[in-house]
Amino acid sequence: MTESLDLEKHVSTKYSEPETEESSLSAEFPEGGLQGWLTLLGVWIVQFVTFGYTNAYGVYNDYYVREYLSPKYASSEISWIGSVQLLLVLSSGLVTGRAFDSGYFYPLMYGGSALFVFCLFMLSITKPEQYYQVFLCQGLGLGLAIGITYVPCLGVLSHYFRRRRALILGIASSGSAVGGIIHPIMLNKLFYGAAGFHQGVRASAALNLGLLAFACLLMRTRLPPKQSRGPSVVQQFWNFIHDPAYVIMVFGTVVTICGIFFPIFFVQLKAVVNGLDPNVAFYTLAVLNTASTVGRIVPNFIVGRFGVFNVVIPCVAACAILNFCALAVNDAAGTIIFAITFGFFSGAYIGLLAPMISSLARNDAEIGARMGICFTFTGMGGLVAIHLCLDPLSIAQRPQASLHFCSECNNLLYPKADAGRSLLTYSCRICAYEEDAENKCVYRNDLLTVTKEQVGVTTDLGSDTTLAHSNIRCSACGNEDAVFYQDQSKRKETRMILFFVCTKCDHSFIDPRLASREANSGEATGGDM
């Protein structure tokens, strides 16, 4: 097994390159030095600002879905902003990797940094419900800017480190995880505080401007650029696809990234939809990225002993298992546990991605090209995967129903029948805020009050456009689609009671979790209506 997994050794013995001036220059590495450590600091700051902002997109996605672009645009449409940004971040490496190998490090870093700050300031002057403005600034502009800087800033570390390259790249990539901690907390405080969205984005842009300017002053190249033009991108691609180890690694990376970035983009929004307290929901992304910071550094200490691929494979397996576990998470404790564990293992994979690609390079001159081609395919996979995965809003939001959020605490509002006024209202389960629905019809004005607290409906609920849907399983027919509404009363342990009606067989029942708790406590509530 060890022999089959040791892909680095397989590649190094398969290829032999003639000794050249370039390879002799790169044979001796300072493994640090003052300029090497300053460059590492500069790269860390760039990762903190740029890819850290990508990790913080979940805050923007949550704000866009609930306020800025809603209700004109659905969550599935808004998610294109983040997925296109991710595509450009990763796929730009196809060009920037080759440009870095050719000696264009400084133009790439200065140009990408300037474009990043410019697009953030432009985002701060966009208008609500203007999708194209946000898409151009954040989806295209920021995605391209981050993509221009991503591969070069990681590649320049190969000029100073070889023996400790895996550890150094892990430390550098931890900058994006720390950015994923700081940026979400800061943006949430700004967006939902006195500053608001526009001033909040401007404040973020000003901070990032100073950080990027400082980072550009720190980073320096050491090795001269390639003297010859070298093979074209097509020729390099053709050479690389004849490397079985590299092809397998690229395919595995595409599949893995498909499952890693979906939780990062949607964990905060899923927490809100699950009814978590905003003080908890707003910190879920920061918690995930905190664990990711640890995950990007700790595994690098054992890579030298076990090999990069032998560390990556268990981390990927853990991420796959956790993605399935997320389907059962619906409370605060489970959300935090998921964020911590998934953050650690996904961070470990992302931190080892660059060392994994570098380990398959035949010489240091082609590291940039190998990274660029791998990231290009990875970005395409991420673009498709985010829209194939289950959107957490799809449970509560269907084409015929829109989501409503509390103006007091930003928690999800649930439909509730006001039989006294014959109106449909929306009520908050956290602070009990209540507002009338725009559609004044309550289930076609046909209500029937039954025993005590329960309210029954005598019309066809499946065709009622005022009701939200859930994928809760019907105990009568097994169908996983039911409309739900709220009872008028509150209970101490649940505050509100949800009633479900199956859209297939019209079976009516209360929340099974509530029924189970009450059965265990000996309360007789009459589970079915």
Per-residue model confidence as pLDDT tens digits over 148-190 = 998 888 888 888 887 777 778 778 888 887 888 899 889 988 9
pLDDT tops 90 at residue 132? yes
**Average pLDDT of the residues in 97-122:** 90
Same-domain pairing of 353 and 424: no
Same-domain pairing of 348 and 439: no
Last residue of a domain, one of 394, 429, 457: 394
pLDDT tops 90 at residue 71? no
Q: What is the mean pLDDT of the chain?
A: 75
**In this predicted model, what pLDDT tens digit does every residue of 205-248 receive, in sequence order?**
999 999 999 999 999 988 777 666 666 667 777 778 888 888 89
* 526 falls within a domain: no
Same-domain pairing of 491 and 374: no
**Average pLDDT of the residues in 277-288:** 78
Same-domain pairing of 309 and 390: yes
**In this predicted model, what pLDDT tens digit does every residue of 247-263 receive, in sequence order?**
899 898 888 887 887 77
How many domains would you assign to the chain? 2
**In this predicted model, what pLDDT tens digit does every residue of 433-458 receive, in sequence order?**
888 776 543 333 333 333 333 333 33
Q: What is the structure's pLDDT at 379?
A: 80
- CB 362, CB 173: distance < 8 Å: no
Same-domain pairing of 304 and 347: yes
* 121 falls within a domain: yes
Q: What is the pLDDT confidence band of residue 122, given thresholds at 50, 70 and 90?
A: very high
Q: Which helix (H) or strand (E) holds 508?
A: strand 508-510
Tokens, residue 205 = 């842009």
**Which residue has better confidence, 60 or 435?**
60
Please report the DSSP string for 330-347 in residue order: -SHHHHHHHHHHHHHHHH
Same-domain pairing of 69 and 165: yes
CATH of the domain at 10: 1.20.1250.20
Last residue of a domain, one of 363, 394, 425: 394
Q: What is the structure's pLDDT at 99?
A: 83
Same-domain pairing of 363 and 457: no
CATH of the domain at 504: 2.20.25.10
- Judge if the upstream peptide bond of residue 71 is cis by omega within 30 degrees of 0: yes
Q: What is the structure's pLDDT at 447?
A: 33
Q: What is the structure's pLDDT at 342?
A: 92
Lowest mean pLDDT among 134-148, 257-271, 396-410, 424-438: 396-410
Same-domain pairing of 229 and 366: yes
The percentage of the chain sitting over the pLDDT mark of 90, rounded to a whole number, equals 19
pLDDT tops 90 at residue 45? yes
Tokens, residue 16 = 């032999």
Q: Which helix (H) or strand (E) holds 78?
A: helix 75-91
Same-domain pairing of 350 and 497: no
pLDDT tops 60 at residue 115? yes
Comparing CA positions, the residue from 388, 357, 361 lying closest to residue 375 is: 357
**In this predicted model, what pLDDT tens digit does every residue of 460-489 receive, in sequence order?**
555 555 566 677 777 777 777 777 665 444
Same-domain pairing of 344 and 447: no
Query: Count of CB atoms within 10 A of residue 85's CB?
Result: 29
**Average pLDDT of the residues in 117-124:** 96
Same-domain pairing of 308 and 384: yes
User: What type of residue is 500?
Assistant: F
Residues 6+ apart with CB under 8 A from 114: none
Domain containing 480 equals: 404-521
The percentage of the chain sitting over the pLDDT mark of 70, rounded to a whole number, equals 73
> Taking the C-alpha atoms of 366, 370, 372 and 377 in order, what is their torsion angle to the nearest 10 degrees?
160
Same-domain pairing of 8 and 61: yes
* 12 falls within a domain: yes
* 267 falls within a domain: yes
Q: How far apart are the C-alpha atoms of 54 and 203, rounded to whole Å? A: 17
* 244 falls within a domain: yes
* 527 falls within a domain: no
* 399 falls within a domain: no
Residues 6+ apart with CB under 8 A from 471: 395, 480, 481
Q: What is the pLDDT confidence band of residue 389, given thresholds at 50, 70 and 90?
A: low
pLDDT tops 80 at residue 81? yes
**In this predicted model, what pLDDT tens digit does every residue of 483-526 receive, in sequence order?**
766 544 444 444 445 667 777 777 777 766 555 545 555 544 44
**In this predicted model, what pLDDT tens digit does every residue of 289-340 receive, in sequence order?**
888 888 888 887 888 788 888 999 999 999 999 988 887 887 778 888 998 9
Centroid of chain to Cα 521: 40
Residue that the structure tokens 């005590």 belong to: 452
Tokens, residue 170 = 């892990």
Q: How far apart are the C-alpha atoms of 426 and 437, rounded to whole Å? A: 6
**Average pLDDT of the residues in 273-284:** 72
Q: What angle do CA 299, 304, 309 make, to 5 degrees?
A: 70
Q: What is the structure's pLDDT at 345?
A: 93
Last residue of a domain, one of 345, 374, 394: 394
**Average pLDDT of the residues in 417-436:** 73
* 42 falls within a domain: yes
